[in-house]
């Protein structure tokens, strides 16, 4: 049996290596369009490669995977984050789990993953052909693949692992084979908030914020970083992932509501503020920051509420207190555009999961055609979850290809 794996990235190499280990007689060739393989793995996680997560803080899978949670729930039964951990350590890459539950190579060097994959591929006899861009694919008794619009080869099976395609046209050859394509849109971006004084607080972090998309039930919690262009940090990236499609439909113009203190219950906040008034009646408002928010952020809120910084807590009227409560819990900003998050960026959309057999990653339309990785309509928040999806879908495909009788 011969198989062509299209795309020499995370999913392509993981699929090839596992397949060759499971079925050494299969002839496996990876075709990569560029001159180098595994380039995204090399730059992932800022060059450190956040290759999975402990999942300790994930209660429901759709918290981490806004798209693809159902497929992954099933696929994780075969290969989950614990299997990933063991796989890499067995391959000679010791790992470390950070306090934030992200898992990295102990060496803190993504190149170790690249070198390990290339070495394993060589040892297993996997052929790697760079500068081979798949330009068309036709199905018949076997698959006929055309590379660079001139070189033709035929294979018994094909696995497409070409990663996220920024444009739907990049996937038209798969649409021609009967696959539904979900419009690709960016995910994991920062929010531009031009001409708002909040940008003067560049560098300020609200450690425990909650941000929601106005008019929807989409919200996220976590640290918020104010930048010179607007807002970033885990909470913003998470919200950009949850709302990726909707925000795209709104052409990146929308309102957000920020609770700087991850609390929206006004009665609770009022109780807390009244306790500050009772305990610090003669202190100036500027000198007591509620909920331990930073002094710069507190001064910004006071300015927005038009409360003089030298006013004493006891002299705050009901109206001023209500303004404070509202700004702490429900501060509105208008986003005009997205920035980029260059440490980790993924595409939402791709080959619809409606066309995929969840147990095998095989196409429902084309027998012996498999998919793995970001080409599928699966993507995640930051934290190693995207690479985990690539490892899992690749592993499931490898098992299915190697054991067709069990899975079909
Ligand atoms: C800067 C950055 C940092 C990231 N950091 C992290 C991180 O730390 N943790 C995490 O979980 N996720 C991270 N991600 C996301 C993660 O890298 C991807 O989700 C993951 O690489 C997807 O794997 P893949 O194999 O599906 O695609 P890719 O790794 O993108 O590989 C696809 C390969 O296919 C090739 N290809 C494409 N089209 C063709 C064609 N027609 N013919 C032949 N070859 C083709 C491409 O050149 C590429 O080499 C990061 C992403 C970016 C951009």
Task: Please report the pLDDT score of residue 195 as a whole number.
Answer: 76
pLDDT band at 149 (very low <50, low <70, confident <90, very high): confident
Tokens representing 253? 């113009």
Task: Please report the pLDDT score of residue 404 as a whole number.
Answer: 65
* CATH code of the region 2-186+344-407: 3.50.50.60
Q: Is the pLDDT of residue 406 over 50?
A: no
Query: Using CB atoms within 10 A of its CB, is residue 99 exposed (0-12), middle (13-18) or buried (19+)?
Result: exposed
| 205-245 pLDDT tens trace | 999 999 999 999 999 999 999 999 999 999 999 999 999 99
CA 374-209-312 angle, 5° bins: 165
Neighbours of 97 (CB within 10 A): 16
Task: Please report the pLDDT score of residue 294 as a whole number.
Answer: 96
**How many whole angstroms separate alpha carbon 66 and alpha carbon 377?**
10
pLDDT band at 403 (very low <50, low <70, confident <90, very high): confident
What is the arithmetic mean of pLDDT over 138-167?
94
* E strand or H helix that includes residue 325: helix 318-329
Tokens representing 16? 């090839």
DSSP 312: B
Query: Torsion over CA of 174, 73, 16 and 145, rounded to 10 degrees?
Result: -10
**How many whole angstroms separate alpha carbon 269 and alpha carbon 277?**
12
E-assigned strand segments in 101-229 = 102-105, 127-129, 134-139, 143-147, 151-155, 157-160, 181-187, 191-192, 205-213, 219-226
Average pLDDT, the chain: 95
**How many whole angstroms separate alpha carbon 291 and alpha carbon 273?**
9
Around ligand 1, the residues with Cβ closer than 6 Å are 6-12, 31-34, 39-40, 43-45, 49-50, 133-134, 161-163, 342-346, 373-375, 384-387, 390
What is the arithmetic mean of pLDDT over 281-292?
95
- For residue 49, how far is its CA from the centre of ligand 1 (angstroms)? 12
Q: Is the pLDDT of residue 391 over 50?
A: yes
Whose alpha carbon is nearest atom 45 of ligand 1? 7
Query: Torsion over CA of 210, 211, 216 and 218, rounded to 10 degrees?
Result: -70
**How many whole angstroms separate alpha carbon 211 and alpha carbon 69?**
22
- Enumerate residues 6+ apart whose C-beta is below 8 A from 251: none
| 271-280 pLDDT tens trace | 999 999 999 9
Q: Is the pLDDT of residue 356 over 70?
A: yes
Which residue, chain included where needed, has tokens 């009227």? 317
Task: Please report the pLDDT score of residue 405 as a whole number.
Answer: 39
Ranges of each domain in the chain: 2-186+344-407, 189-340
Task: Please report the pLDDT score of residue 16 as a whole number.
Answer: 98
Tokens representing 167? 């444009």
- Which phi and psi angles does 371 have, rounded to 5°? -130, 150
């Amino acid at each position: 049996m011969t198989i062509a794996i299209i795309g020499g990235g995370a999913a392509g190499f993981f699929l090839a290596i596992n397949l060759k280990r499971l079925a050494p007689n299969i002839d496996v060739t990876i075709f990569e369009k560029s001159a180098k393989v595994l380039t995204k793995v090399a730059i992932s996680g800022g060059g450190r490669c956040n290759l999975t997560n402990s999942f300790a803080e994930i209660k429901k899978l759709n918290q981490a995977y806004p798209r693809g949670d159902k497929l992954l729930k099933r696929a994780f039964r075969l290969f989950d984050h614990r299997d990933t951990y063991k796989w890499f350590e067995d391959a000679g890459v010791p790992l470390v789990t950070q306090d934030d539950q992200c898992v990295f190579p102990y060496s803190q060097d993504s190149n170790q993953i690249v070198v390990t994959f290339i070495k394993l591929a060589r040892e297993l006899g996997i052929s790697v052909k760079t500068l081979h861009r798949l330009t068309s694919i036709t199905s018949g008794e076997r698959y006929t693949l055309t590379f660079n619009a001139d070189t033709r080869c035929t294979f018994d099976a094909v696995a497409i692992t070409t990663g996220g395609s920024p444009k739907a046209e990049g996937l038209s050859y798969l649409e021609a084979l009967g696959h539904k394509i979900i419009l690709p849109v960016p995910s994991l971006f920062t929010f531009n908030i031009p001409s708002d004084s909040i940008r003067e607080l560049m560098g300020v972090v609200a450690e425990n914020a909650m941000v929601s998309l106005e008019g929807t039930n989409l919200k996220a919690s976590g640290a918020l970083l104010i930048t010179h262009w607007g807002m970033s940090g885990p909470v913003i990236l998470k919200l950009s992932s949850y709302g990726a499609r909707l925000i795209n439909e709104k052409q990146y113009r929308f309102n957000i509501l920020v609770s700087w203190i991850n609390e929206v219950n006004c009665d609770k906040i009022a109780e807390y503020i009244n306790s500050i008034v009772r305990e610090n009646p003669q202190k100036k408002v500027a000198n007591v920051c509620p909920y331990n928010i930073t002094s710069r952020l507190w001064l910004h809120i006071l300015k927005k509420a038009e409360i003089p910084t030298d006013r004493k807590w006891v002299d705050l009227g009901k109206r001023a207190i209500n303004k404070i409560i509202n700004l702490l819990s429900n501060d509105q900003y208008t986003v005009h555009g997205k920035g980029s998050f260059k440490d980790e960026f993924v595409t939402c959309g791709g080959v619809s999961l409606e066309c995929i057999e969840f147990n095998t990653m095989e196409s429902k339309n084309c027998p012996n055609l498999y998919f793995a990785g970001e080409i599928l309509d699966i993507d995640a928040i930051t934290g190693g979850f995207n690479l985990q999806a690539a490892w899992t879908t690749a592993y499931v495909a490898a098992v299915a290809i190697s054991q067709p009788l069990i899975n079909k």
